[in-house]
Structure 1
């Protein structure tokens, strides 16, 4: 048994999991992040999520650092697979495919992130599984989606960042583009997949018919490019790297202070006027050269007048002092390190750092940003060991006894 999950009820049949998705059974046939994170969010909200891994080729994110405990476990893996149960199943075996189809009859959702066509080649694509469960919501996450000329191409997170246009917009104008400093392709696809899954579940509850939720990393990244598409389609303006600047409002960006940097977004006339008062220069609010948004945006005026004013305002003060002085009245926020964010009292008040057992010890990791007034903070259980819940899940859902589970394991099916 997985010691990271003490006292965890067998929620496949007991109904003891709490939350708005309690009673929803999700088969999670995904690996790494684009997929596991989608399923983890559903698990946080009460769904019974069963992580299905190939016994001879389990999720290789289990090998990603950092590790915790005397019997080291991946905290990276746990962050995206907490609150799940774990089983093994090899779909290359006929018995393995039969078991998946039997599980699908008991499930509401199946999530996979194989390259399009893989499940069909294995004989367990949506059309086949829908025969077993017409209400099944089949969520498929891939680099380029299930349709279109590029659908069969392999992809990673950086594929989505590159193909979706975001990479070309990030960085500084006088340097090559820079990838976003996190796996935004994987994460955004997971978020959209969770949203689409819930919409399809609602439709399945209403009509009794499931459907495919088709989410691509490229599509997901493209939707994060803010004004870039309409700037191009209306004005033929191709967005490029702007550093910390903004294409049409100023000041709105990162500015230095005594011990680091702050974000300041005082570009409206209202916030500019308030800022002038806060920093002891009220006369600047009515200075005829910089008294409107349009005037302050001018390249020449911004460089000659506005940037020196911001240096005068910010450089004598620390990030914390500036937030104390102005943060309640204008958009001014410290540019925080991850260490500062994790220790932020506001983050603590929002329950955004939770303790999850990893390798037998509690590890702090990010929580769920969705706050439901009727839910409260869910109990966090650790990620399952590979196949840790074979006996419990196959017994509860399919009625297999211990001897049959052992036989299937010995045959390599589990």
Structure 2
């Protein structure tokens, strides 16, 4: 498509979303909505654009930020100073004709601006008001600063990964934010479904802490059910059928045979190791930690005998659950990634073409897509204000008063 207006064939076409988002949690949530056709308008201050615009170095082929582009594709941007009365009134005018308002600003900012759910509900009772935050809106630490890494730390994620001798292990940067964004987008869709049935708007809240816990439901429930905390385990202590193994070319494979008894015979017939296949002591490794460690050692030696590609083809071809352990460069060339269209190309505002990750889910009749890159700061200010009934004279007055800014 040539512009940011979504095709009417997309499932969320006609859904109007205002975003006062920074960094990742809220912007990623609205990007998911935009991928499927929602008209997302990003609100940025004339002197305070989303700081995410400056995150991560430029790409190798140009000056576009992979961070900001990937989180703000398919959106429009307006520059509006919400600290000024005219800016606040202008936002409320936009809210009157809006379906969803999304924000993840610092705790207390929306109260200071008098742009809480109650304030927006007064002008649009059907509004869905979605907030992303760090630790929830209640409790003694609701106002504490929070970022992605802190969400991972507080929710136990760091201590659930790695081996016993390792320091706390953080997941990839943005993991808590991205998971929080998916849950926030899901909450918005649930609230919209309720509004379809009842006509009622409501608040939606997703915190980094809460969504990290939700992501680990099974793992956390083990502790809640048993009263004990499962220890971190090294590779040698883990199941040989749920592990990673180094291959002869220095690359790794992952085996995920959760039902090890189901895979035992097929595994060691394929590996041509009848000695292991018929060893009842090793076969009982789930009940014998020493046998598990010994079996991991034996399999370590076996997998050093061939390359990653050879092992993946041999084991996968035999029907065993195996996958190559890949870095992002290898992922970008993975035939499964390419065949399923998981990566898409788009043209950024600088005119260059880049690749990024698509929506993540695929609909057969109305698939989402990355149609445009991220907007320039304030790029669509006049366009959006005109759509919402402001005149050129009113827009000029806002510009003279410093309420709106012009794109760089």
One fold, TM greater than 0.5? Answer: yes
State the alpha-carbon separation in 2 of the partners of residues 17 and 69 from structure 1. 35
Indicate if the aligned counterparts of 1:34 and 1:189 stay in contact, CA closer than 8 A: yes
Flag the 1:70–1:371 CA change in 2: closer, same or farther, 3 A.
closer
Shift of 1:69: 9.2
Residue of structure 2 in register with 1:346 after alignment: 336
Matched, 1:186 2:181: no
Q: Secondary structure at the match of 2:118?
A: helix
Residue of structure 2 in register with 1:241 after alignment: 232
From 261, 267, 276, the equivalent of 2:268 is: 276
Shift of 1:61: 1.1
Shift of 1:315: 1.0
Matched, 1:104 2:95: yes
Indicate if the aligned counterparts of 2:237 and 2:289 stay in contact, CA closer than 8 A: no
Matched, 1:326 2:315: yes
Matched, 1:291 2:283: yes
Flag the 1:54–1:245 CA change in 2: closer, same or farther, 3 A.
farther
4+ residue runs of structure 1 moved beyond 6 angstroms?
none
**Structure 1 unaligned residues grouped into runs of 5+:** 1-5
Matched, 1:213 2:208: no
TM-align CA RMSD: 2.1
Shift of 1:265: 2.0
State the alpha-carbon separation in 2 of the partners of residues 301 and 69 from structure 1. 49
Flag the 1:223–1:175 CA change in 2: closer, same or farther, 3 A.
same
Indicate if the aligned counterparts of 1:177 and 1:241 stay in contact, CA closer than 8 A: no
Q: TM-score, normalised by structure 1?
A: 0.91
Q: Secondary structure at the match of 2:42?
A: strand
State the alpha-carbon separation in 2 of the partners of residues 181 and 377 from structure 1. 25
Matched, 1:63 2:45: no
Counterparts of 1:37-52 in structure 2 under 5 Å? Answer: 37-52=28-43
Residue of structure 1 in register with 2:380 after alignment: 389
Matched, 1:114 2:109: no
Shift of 1:238: 1.6
Equivalenced residue count is: 400
From 111, 121, 140, the equivalent of 2:131 is: 140
Counterparts of 1:155-234 in structure 2 under 5 Å? Answer: 155-234=146-225
Flag the 1:225–1:250 CA change in 2: closer, same or farther, 3 A.
farther
Q: Secondary structure at the match of 1:73?
A: coil
State the alpha-carbon separation in 1 of the partners of residues 158 and 10 from structure 2. 37
Flag the 1:243–1:212 CA change in 2: closer, same or farther, 3 A.
farther
State the alpha-carbon separation in 2 of the partners of residues 276 and 71 from structure 1. 50
Residue of structure 1 in register with 2:296 after alignment: 307
Shift of 1:345: 1.3
Flag the 1:221–1:324 CA change in 2: closer, same or farther, 3 A.
same
**Structure 2 unaligned residues grouped into runs of 5+:** none
Shift of 1:377: 5.4
Shift of 1:190: 0.4
Q: Deviations over 1:44-85 (max 9, x none)?
A: 011111111111100111112332599833222011000001
Does 109-118 or 238-247 show the bigger shift? 238-247
Q: TM-score, normalised by structure 2?
A: 0.92
Does 217-226 or 98-107 show the bigger shift? 217-226
Q: Deviations over 1:135-187 (max 9, x none)?
A: 11111000011122221111011110111111122222012211112321111
Shift of 1:92: 0.5
Flag the 1:238–1:71 CA change in 2: closer, same or farther, 3 A.
closer
Shift of 1:134: 0.9
State the alpha-carbon separation in 1 of the partners of residues 365 and 120 from structure 2. 34
Residue of structure 2 in register with 1:152 after alignment: 143
From 250, 255, 259, the equivalent of 1:264 is: 255
State the alpha-carbon separation in 2 of the partners of residues 163 and 84 from structure 1. 32
Indicate if the aligned counterparts of 2:236 and 2:293 stay in contact, CA closer than 8 A: no
Indicate if the aligned counterparts of 2:359 and 2:369 stay in contact, CA closer than 8 A: no
State the alpha-carbon separation in 2 of the partners of residues 233 and 251 from structure 1. 26
Q: Secondary structure at the match of 1:35?
A: helix
Indicate if the aligned counterparts of 2:237 and 2:293 stay in contact, CA closer than 8 A: no
From 237, 243, 266, the equivalent of 1:253 is: 243
Flag the 1:68–1:158 CA change in 2: closer, same or farther, 3 A.
closer
Q: Secondary structure at the match of 1:412?
A: coil
Indicate if the aligned counterparts of 2:131 and 2:204 stay in contact, CA closer than 8 A: yes
State the alpha-carbon separation in 2 of the partners of residues 89 and 69 from structure 1. 32
